[in-house]
A = this chain, B = another copy of it.
Amino acid sequence: METSADMPEAVDSAGEVTPSRLRGLPSRLLGHTAVYADRLVSDRLAAVDARRWHYAVLASLQEAGPASQALLSRRAGLYHSDLVGVINELADRGYVDRTPDAADRRRNVVTITAQGRRQLRRLDKVVASVQDELLAPLTAPERDQLTGLLTRLLDHHSGAVTVPAVGGKHKPSKRAGGPTA
């Protein structure tokens, strides 16, 4: 259809309408809502001096028990490079202990502390309320639909070994190889 492109004085008119090509684009909707969600979560967590990964790591420790950093990074789904800082922060706040493993001196064993458990419970509440805030406009069954659909997308793309390398002509393509999550 190509909505008329050669209208003259469209330079001004302050029309700030999103192009129709973009308005319904799933990838775009996904990206935008994710940005909103991230901001919401980060802000709410910052109010209790926490970050997203704090929750993931504490939850992982609580549910699956003590772990080496390598294992922990696989379980929580963040890069081992980035885990270091998170563990530092959690240790500074007294939420986890990081002690060298006697059995394998390469490893650190990370353990959640009593304070860590208390913080985790606090975060549970914050996270739950943030989900509620995020999904406010949706009814309960709609929320289930959404998480169901997203879960299926995620599952699908996790088995697919990521982006089968299209035509790799122009650029070295960057970003190949499946993620950890």
Which residues of A does B touch, CB under 8 Å?
Answer: 2-3, 5-8, 10-12, 14-22, 24-27, 29-44, 46-49, 55-56, 59-68, 71, 74-77, 101, 107, 109, 112, 124, 127, 130-131, 134-138, 142-143, 145-147, 149-157, 162-163, 166-171, 173-175, 179, 181
Contact = CB atoms under 8 A, between A and B. Distances in A.
Nearest to A109: B11
A66 B168 CA distance: 33
Contacts of A12: 68, 71
Copy tally for this chain in the complex stands at 2
A98 to B, nearest CB: 13
25 contacts: A5-B61, A11-B107, A12-B68, A15-B75, A16-B71, A16-B74, A16-B75, A18-B77, A19-B56, A20-B63, A24-B151, A25-B131, A26-B131, A26-B135, A26-B143, A27-B41, A27-B130, A27-B134, A30-B30, A32-B154, A34-B34, A43-B163, A134-B157, A137-B152, A137-B156
